Structure 1
Amino acid sequence: MRIDRKWEPHKPTIRLKLEPEEIERNLQNGKAISRAGLQHLAPAHPLSLPVANGPAKEPRATLDWSENAVNGEHLWLETNVSGDLCYLGEENCQVRFAKSALRRKCAVCKIVVHTACIEQLEKINFRCKPTFREGGSRSPRENFVRHHWVHRRRQEGKCKQCGKGFQQKFSFHSKEIVAISCSWCKQAFHNKVTCFMLHHIEEPCSLGAHAAVIVPPTWIIKVKKPQNSLKASNRKKKRTSFKRKASKRGMEQENKGRPFVIKPISSPLMKPLLVFVNPKSGGNQGTKVLQMFMWYLNPRQVFDLSQEGPKDALELYRKVPNLRILACGGDGTVGWILSILDELQLSPQPPVGVLPLGTGNDLARTLNWGGGYTDEPVSKILCQVEDGTIVQLDRWNLHVERNPDLPPEELEDGVCKLPLNVFNNYFSLGFDAHVTLEFHESREANPEKFNSRFRNKMFYAGAAFSDFLQRSSRDLSKHVKVVCDGTDLTPKIQELKFQCIVFLNIPRYCAGTMPWGNPGDHHDFEPQRHDDGYIEVIGFTMASL
């Protein structure tokens, strides 16, 4: 096996600016209202919802990307929060006298209703914020988004109109509507005629403090399913222009049978963000993070990797200019997304940021995203993604070749192709590789046992101790040959009897340690960087491990 000396072209990655003035600005921008509660305010342009003739359908909990998707459909999650009353209020609530009725909370607009009241909510036509627009409309395209106003019984922050706070005499089980807020821009007003006025209903929404990273619903188009009879009728009555025909043909070719297409409006101020969340990484933080991003962004730019891989989403958004990606997971999640970007060959390559939900998070530490997510406000994270500096990251190809010095019978069980042939952090042989493989196989077999970052680290420690006692890598030095820049290091490896050999691309290793150390202490060693085209080779004895 050999590692290419010629390093692969850089993949841009987001690195945080940590200057004090930057942090202060991010904190100021991050003040967004995020509490929920309540009643009905009719939207400006109601759409007809399908009426169920049969038994009540199961409340939808995931986005519908099919041609049957309904705009403004809520995403219902089970909730047991005792402080939120049913959004319908006492007059319209179907189970107002039941104390233990099941309730659901919309992950997108934060309203809470009883499960039995969801059908009634559709009857009064209170929909969630729209996430796309219908294609094939004859009306001119609207390039702006309208507010999505929601009544709230509880509200944080201050009124946009009068600047006063929202006074709540009884925070729990309050029946009074104290505020009207927009689930897009998060602006909130007192529920008074002097604060919330008629012109607020029709005015365009700015999308709030994070408008630069939000994908507006006007960009996402659900392609209208062609109807042959209607097409034939149109051809008889009217001939469309050549330009119009070309536009339609181009959309059909670009769509390739997919129900949705993206038609972005280019702007140097826009940095649209795709968020990929891996709930399996680290502990149980992934699900919570997924819901918070759906609240702040367009839900159609937030993807759950446990439902589907990132390929379809990246293909859908591949032509969006200034695209940025946030990988919420461990280093393996980041590598997965980068491998799909390699496969799709996007040009230019979008920069990738990391929200560390994994166990080790060495790449996240290297890029100043921290060693683990500690419930920082999502609003602050969005500011950091928008303002982060783009840096380069070396990535290395691995080539596996048969050993010509071995007899054919010993090569029968050999592997000629690795599951992954590119590495971003480090590549290792021996002790730590065996422990990591054992962790991976155990988590795949029993994912329910690996639901916290602390428990994962304890498993690592136990597996490492067991492997240490068994000394499964004690003969590693007898089975490897290492040549670096033409220099054969094999005799040195055999002399020191290394139990582990690491090819290090980034300074961090094994959950934050820095084995390369401080280059100032060793004048013969140059400082380690993740964008210099060099890789560091380090050997560990059992004592040093």
Structure 2
Amino acid sequence: MYSISIINAMEVFFSINDFLFDYYFLIGGLFLSYLVYKIFHSLFSDNIYSQTNFTSRGHSWRSIQCHKAIPYNIHCSVCGILMLPLVGLFCECCAASACKRCCRIVDKKLRCKTITWPRDKIFQHHWVNVGTIRTDSSDNDDGLKKFFCSWCQRTKLCTYSALEPEECNFLKYRDIIIPPYCTQVEKGIIAKVKPLAEDNWIPLIIFANPKSGSNRSDEILSLFRGLLNPLQVVDLSRTAPETVVRWLPSRCRVLAVGGDGTVAWILNSLLSATHVRASVAIMPMGTGNDLSRVLGWGSGSDTHLDAHSIINTIKQADEQLLDRWKVTIAPRPGRLGRPRPKRVVYAYNYVSIGVDAQVALDFHYARAQFLYRYASRTLNFVSKCVMLEPGKEVFRFF
């Protein structure tokens, strides 16, 4: 009887192990298959928002396939050829366009949008040629051209000789743009932004994390750089929010583009800036987006992103107060009973201790790895299924 019971127990044990092995083998196989697919898809497909194609001397070049909120010229402004998607480039900030062979020439001849301007000089339109009306009887240089102001979004049809300097008043987005003459720069670093005297002036600051789960935050950066002052659009993979909140005006709106971790990072940075009173909107680009769902911003971003619609939604949103949780961590005494300093952290939706927290920490470290550039929201979900083993408890404080 005892030997039979032992044999039966061993059979059950090995059957459970075989089941768990098959389960992890299946999940791991799907994980690796999807990772290989993402790598080949990013290498051989036209991923137009994955990175900036060229960056040199002020202009930030991207492929003309990008959906933009600003127009651009489909003909090269230097050689005049019709630019196909494979060779066509345009500056995401000022809408200047050129082919890959002539972009260096445009860098030398045409300046991009500037973030500073002398206060004693009149701020003028930044006209960019975005099209030419071609006729058989007129030369390209003397024909009518369509000019676009990259600050006020105004278009003008005239010849180049008839284009006269004119003051720009930013028109449509005057109440959310930081004018270049309000920016003070010291030793190449933004030191201060002097507020405008207008009551309805509430600048919009964009914080986007390209390493978030959906990998679409780079698209948001490209969309808003053409509508706002480039200093208002912050790439969190290059610039930390702690360095930006130092020069923010006392009243502003903030759009946090990313997941829950990105939003918490931005909120903690604003906490250290006591002079800033900011209303924070969320564009969910992460894996879970729990805080975004609770506040009514949805669980994910739309397939088609419209910068104008996003700005209008932020302006019409209602302000609500959000609780901030203060967590104090008291470590054990060190050697000889020497006390260690306490650590204070702030949370905005929940705090986790255990396996869940370890998975979140591993994901944070994984963002610095090379293969993370091929990650996506779906891949993050699969990764969590592999990393979270069944049967382990997680303690969570709400």
Fold match (TM-score > 0.5): yes
Matched, 1:61 2:55: yes
Query: How far apart are 1:269 and its partner, in Å?
Result: 0.8
Cα distance in 1, alignment partners of residues 174 and 365 from structure 2: 42
Q: Does 1:126 align with 2:110?
A: yes
Q: 2:394 maps to what in 1?
A: 500
**Residues 341-393 of structure 1: per-residue CA shift (max 9 Å, x gap):** 2233x234322221111111111111211111223311111122233222111
Q: Quick one: structure 1 residues 402 and 101, their matched pair in 2 at CA, closer, same or farther if it must change by over 3 Å?
A: closer
Distance 2:211 2:331 in 1: 36
Q: Equivalent residues in 2 for 1:204-353 (5 A)?
A: 204-223=167-186, 258=189, 260-317=191-248, 320-344=249-273, 346-353=274-281
Q: Deviations over 1:84-124 (max 9, x none)?
A: 3312243xxxxx6999996542120222213442453356x
> Secondary structure in 2 aligned to 1:307?
coil
Identify the match of residue 392 of structure 1 among 321, 324, 327: 321
5+ residue gaps in structure 1? 1-58, 63-72, 91-95, 135-139, 155-166, 226-256, 474-498, 505-545
Cα 1:212/1:153, change in 2 over 3 Å? same
Paired positions, count:
333
Question: Partner letter of residue 55 of structure 2?
Answer: A
Q: Cα distance 1:284–1:355, how it changes in 2: closer, same or farther (>3 A)?
A: same
Q: Contact conserved, 1:132 with 1:222, CA < 8 A, in 2?
A: yes
Distance 1:380 1:397 in 2: 35
Tell me the residue number matched to 2:312: 383
Larger RCO (alpha carbons 8 Å, 6+ apart): 1
Among 325, 337, 350, the residue aligned to 1:426: 350
Q: 1:110 corresponds to which residue?
A: 95
SS at 1:218 equivalent:
helix
Greater share of helix residues, 1 or 2? 2
**TM-score computed with the length of structure 1 as normaliser:** 0.53
1:465-476 to 2 correspondence within 5 Å? 467-468=389-390, 471=391, 473=392
AA aligned to 1:141 is D
Residue 281 of structure 2 aligns with an amino acid whose one-letter code is G
Q: Which letter does structure 2 place at the counterpart of 1:457?
A: F
Residues in 2 aligned to 1:221 and 1:434: alpha-carbon distance in whole angstroms: 43
- Structure 2 match to 1:477: none
Asked if structure 1 preserves the Cα contact closer than 8 Å seen for 2:59 and 2:107, the reply is no
Larger Rg: 1
- Secondary structure at the residue paired with 2:147? strand
Q: Which residue of 1 aligns with 2:330?
A: 401
The RMSD of aligned alpha carbons is 3.9
1:422-481 Cα offsets, whole Å, 9 max, x none, are 1111012345334434444444445526521122122223333xx11xx2x2xxxxxxxx
Taking the aligned partners of 1:310 and 1:429, their CA distance within structure 2 comes to 26
DSSP 3-state at the match of 1:296? coil
- Corresponding position of 1:85: 75
Pairing of 1:19-38 with structure 2 (within 5 A): none
Deviation per residue, 1:168-190 (Å, 9 max, x gap): 99xxxx9986632221122224x
Q: Which runs of 5+ in 2 are unaligned?
A: 1-52, 67-72
Q: Contact (CA 8 Å) 2:209, 2:258: kept in 1 or not?
A: yes
Query: Matched residues in 1 for 2:134 and 2:76: separation?
Result: 18
Cα separation, partners in 2 of 1:463 and 1:180, compared to 1, 3 Å? same
SS in 2 for 1:390: coil
Change (3 A) 1:438 1:312: closer
1:327·1:355 contact (CA, 8 Å) conserved in 2? yes
Distance 1:402 1:451, change over 3 A: closer
Distance in 1, matches of 2:309 and 2:328, equals 41
Alpha-carbon offset, residue 416 of structure 1: 7.1
Q: d(CA) in 2 for partners of 1:111 and 1:293?
A: 16
1:218 positional shift: 1.2
